[in-house]
Amino acid sequence: MTRYIDVNDLSYLVSQKGLQTCITEMAEYIRADYLRWQDFEKCPRLANHSPDGVIELMPVSDASLYAFKYVNGHPKNTLAGMLTVMAFGALGDVDTGKPVLLAEMTLTTAIRTAATSALVARYLARNNSRSMALIGNGSQSEFQALAFHAMLGINEIRLFDIDAKATAKLAANLKAFPAIKVILAGSVAEAVKGADIVTTVTADKAYATILSDDMIEPGMHLNAVGGDCPGKTELDRRIVERARVIVEYEPQSRIEGEIQHMPPDSPVTELWQVINGQRPGRENARQVTLFDSVGFAIEDYSALRYVLDVAKALDVGSELELVPDLADPKDLFARLAQPPRAQQKKRA
């Protein structure tokens, strides 16, 4: 049988643990897996692009588990009342190929993206960072705000979005966390001025300049989350040229990240090298650091592993007969001769 976690199950799991606890604990799973980077068989994600969006498959495996995530990105979906990003994923046993877990990953991806952002900021942001500008106030924004509050002690967040309703939504949701001071900014420049950390998480599939070079002050840490596919960026190229750039997996980031419009030999450092101490994160207090985040499959592996462990501990989810359970494993045909169990239930 395969454990199945749907949206309701995941929501219950988070309600029992607490969202900020889930973010913090998932970040530790992600850190642990980046520490064993060499154990994984990796590749850039497989993407099918269309004029209005992209659908991607993100696979990765180690000697024990194979993981994949199906995820889309369609910014125009909100006009039709649909999410921009929707996802599901699975874990399989490498020794047998048996599916171990089938799970929703829309909520889970939001948690793991924020957990990764805050984890990386621990290595790149200045230790005394307390304020963050949050540019783009859509579905990911609350998760980013709470991750940075829980993991770095960020207690002031300046909000800006070209959609005032999105900002109002975010501000209303953050009222449940009175330790966070929320400031509504009138422009990107106003939000960014004097901030220790700047997070950009916009959705438009375009070469955009959300942050211009003149906005960036010495010592800032930039968490660029929105640029995550070919033809989609958020930063002025001059920022990328002068920042210390950290990426998850260089072959993928060269295709999808802010560095997609940089020369192929432009300097970058992979995240695993920073986490294991092979390379430094921030080098000095005045350095501008940039996490060119596109999302990588190891983070999904970690997230699915975390969800499975917590689901087992809390007895969350259900069991699916996703593949046939046969008396004779060489007689698959016989399974079709049995009355379908769903039909049996209906007749009963």
| Model confidence pLDDT, tens digit, residues 230-244 | 888 999 999 999 999
Bridge partner residues of 4 (DSSP): 102, 318
Rounded mean pLDDT, 192-213:
90
Measure the CA dihedral 329/333/335/337, to 10°: -150
Residue 258, pLDDT above cutoff 90: yes
pLDDT of residue 226: 87
The 10s digit of each residue's pLDDT in 281-301 is: 999 999 999 999 999 999 999
Q: Percentage of the chain with pLDDT > 70?
A: 97
pLDDT of residue 208: 82
pLDDT of residue 138: 94
The 10s digit of each residue's pLDDT in 40-57 is: 999 999 999 898 889 999
Confidence of residue 80 (pLDDT cuts 50, 70, 90): very high
pLDDT of residue 339: 76
* Domain at 2-107+298-325, CATH class: alpha beta
Residue 347, pLDDT above cutoff 60: no
Q: Where in the chain is the domain with CATH 3.30.1780.10?
A: 2-107+298-325
Rounded mean pLDDT, 12-22:
98
pLDDT of residue 348: 39
Confidence of residue 203 (pLDDT cuts 50, 70, 90): confident
Give the angle subtended at the CA of 170 by the CAs of 203 and 301, to the nearest 5°: 55
Element (H, E) at 87: strand 87-93
pLDDT of residue 340: 72
Residue 181 C-beta-side C-alpha neighbours within 13 Å: 9
- Residues 9, 33, 161, 228: which is the catalytic one? 228
pLDDT of residue 345: 46
Residue 215, pLDDT above cutoff 90: yes
Closest CA to 109 of 246, 309, 259, 307: 307
Confidence of residue 341 (pLDDT cuts 50, 70, 90): low
pTM: 0.94
Residue 329, pLDDT above cutoff 70: yes
- Output phi, psi for 70, to 5 deg: -100, 125
| Cβ atoms < 10 Å from Cβ of 10 | 23
Measure the CA dihedral 231/234/238/240, to 10°: -90
Q: Percentage of the chain with pLDDT > 90?
A: 89
pLDDT of residue 75: 87
Q: Where in the chain is the domain with CATH 3.40.50.720?
A: 113-295
Bridge partner residues of 158 (DSSP): 133, 183
Residue 277 C-beta-side C-alpha neighbours within 13 Å: 0
pLDDT of residue 45: 93
Confidence of residue 346 (pLDDT cuts 50, 70, 90): very low
Residue 74, pLDDT above cutoff 60: yes
Residue 194, pLDDT above cutoff 80: yes
Which is it for strands 156-160 and 181-184: parallel, antiparallel or unpaired?
parallel
Rounded mean pLDDT, 212-229:
93
Distance CA 176, CA 55 (A): 34
Residue 343, pLDDT above cutoff 90: no
Rounded mean pLDDT, 203-224:
90
pLDDT of residue 216: 98
Confidence of residue 30 (pLDDT cuts 50, 70, 90): very high
The position carrying tokens 């949050």 is 134
List the end-to-end C-alpha distance of the chain, in Å, as a whole number.
23
The CATH fold of domain 113-295: Rossmann fold (3.40.50)
Q: Which residues contact 9 (CB under 8 A, 6 or more apart)?
A: 104, 311, 316, 317, 318
Q: Is 228 a catalytic residue?
A: yes
pLDDT of residue 196: 98
